[in-house]
Structure 1
Amino acid sequence: MSAARDRWLDEGIEVLVEEGSAGVRIDRLAARLGLSKGSFHHHFAGADGFKKDLLDHVEDILTSSLQQAIDAARGEPTARRILMGLIEMVTASDDQVYRPRLEIALRAWALADVDAARTQERVDAARLGALRRVWRRGSDDDDDVRIGAMLPYVLALGATVIMPPLSSADLRKLYERILPLVPDDLA
């Protein structure tokens, strides 16, 4: 990707978070970036192309950060230790994994837009799949793995949508409360 294209997409995320999907307009983005509409059309196939690319960008941000966190913790000896490592990363103050404002913005957009809803479905499926792979280390029961993976995910979603969103410190305390429920690895 080019630097200008990245700037358009990053600014699109900023506006989405600040104003919602209705605020993501070419003229507004161009003014905020100090770029011309010609620059926009050079990088995107119109408003629909930008919307698709913006949703892809949001999806990548929301799924890759969790997967990278899991990959970084994968060397841990047990599922519980992996999730402890995830707690550290999710509750860090750098907002790389826990991004409540972006989460809220995408979920709100998904209520009114089929493309955003499909993106949200893929994000949820990817995140739950990653968490199931971690939980699978401690259980061979499919239902236990499914429910176990949902527990930290639903907790994070709830922390995101409560107003105001929970702080990283409070989210950490909630995760620590459920850690004893995480099974040790299978023998």
Structure 2
Amino acid sequence: MAGKTSWLESGLVILGTAGPTGLTIDKLVAATGLSTGSFYHHFSGMPGYKSALLGYFEEQHTTRYLREIEAADLDPRGRLELLIDLVLEDDEPASIEVAVRAWALDDPIAAAAKERVDNTRLGVLRTLLMDCGYAEDAAEETAQILYLLVLGAGNVLPTVPPERLRILCRRVLS
């Protein structure tokens, strides 16, 4: 299984630095140090690999956070703050998020995955905010503001440091 994970982790790095067109078997082989045979052992070609990579992106950049906040013995505000901290402490570059969004512009499978991820993230934020006492409309609006704030920060240069984003998120929530 380590081989499969290596392929997927390397794919996210390549995606973040070279974009979706940079995802080639040659680049993946060079990045992982594994063989082409290993690639085909784990994936049924590039379409299967790209589908697995989108699933891995969703797992690493959404689902694992949700598991952590659900497992935490915290009140709703504590879970919301934990979620913000987990996202902002993630050492994965924002360029991966940007690259997946760019990929989604031209690929219906990537678009469907990105839409699912966005809906999941916004739904969790909305639910946490309603659990904190926000009215449904206010929870929806605040969830969108927080989400767009974090996403937008990944699209500016120089990048916004996590400490600054944390302050801005707290400002929105105050």
Judge same fold: TM > 0.5, yes or no: yes
**Matched residue, 1:119:** 113
CA distance in structure 1 between the aligned counterparts of 2:17 and 2:34, rounded to whole angstroms: 20
Tell me: CA distance 1:90–1:58, structure 2 relative to 1, closer, same or farther (3 Å).
closer
| CA distance, structure 2, for counterparts of residue 15 and residue 133 of structure 1 | 34
Tell me by how many angstroms 1:69 deviates.
Answer: 4.7
1:171 aligned onto 2:165 = yes
Match of residue 10 from structure 2:
11
Aligned-pair identity (%): 40
| Paired position in structure 2 for 1:54 | 53
Q: Is the 8 A contact 1:73 1:86 kept in 2?
A: no
Which structure 2 residues correspond to residues 30-45 of structure 1 after superposition, within 5 A?
A: 30-45=29-44
Q: Which has the larger radius of gyration?
A: 1
Unaligned runs of 5+ in 1: 181-187
- Choose the corresponding residue for 1:95, options 88, 91, 96: 91
Quick one: distance in 2 between partners of 1:80 and 1:59? 24
Within 5 Å, give how 1:138-177 maps onto structure 2.
138-139=132-133, 141-177=135-171
CA distance 1:65–1:100, change in 2 (3 Å): farther
Greater helix content: 2
Deviations 1:84-120 (Å, cap 9, x if unpaired)? 333433333x526xx4121111111111211111111
> What TM-score do the two structures reach when normalised by structure 1?
0.83
Structure 2 letter corresponding to 1:90:
V
Distance 1:74 1:120, change over 3 A: farther
Q: CA RMSD for the aligned pairs?
A: 2.0
Question: Offset of 1:138 from its aligned partner?
Answer: 3.4
Distance (whole Å) between structure 1 residues aligned to residue 170 and residue 79 of structure 2: 13
Q: Tell me the CA shift for residue 74 of structure 1.
A: 5.4
Any idea what SS the aligned residue of 2:154 has? helix
Pick from 128, 131, 152: which aligns with 1:134? 128
Alpha-carbon distance in structure 2 between the residues aligned to 1:69 and 1:50: 27
How much has 1:166 moved relative to structure 2? 1.1
SS in 2 for 1:91: helix
What is residue 185 of structure 1 aligned with on the other side?
none
Letter aligned with residue 79 of structure 2: I
Instruction: Find the residue that maps to 1:161 and give its secondary structure.
Output: coil
* Consecutive aligned runs of 4 or more in structure 1 exceeding 4 Å deviation: none
Q: Give unpaired runs (5+ residues) of structure 2.
A: none
TM-score by length of 2: 0.88
Give the AA of the match of 1:117: A
1: CA distance, partners of 2:124 / 2:79? 12
Match of 2:81 in 1: 84
The answer to whether the 8 A contact 2:142-2:172 is kept is: no
Tell me the alpha carbon deviations over residues 43-82 of structure 1, each in whole angstroms, 9 at most, x when there is no partner. 1111111111111111111112431453355512xx4443
Deviation at 1:121, TM superposition (A): 0.4
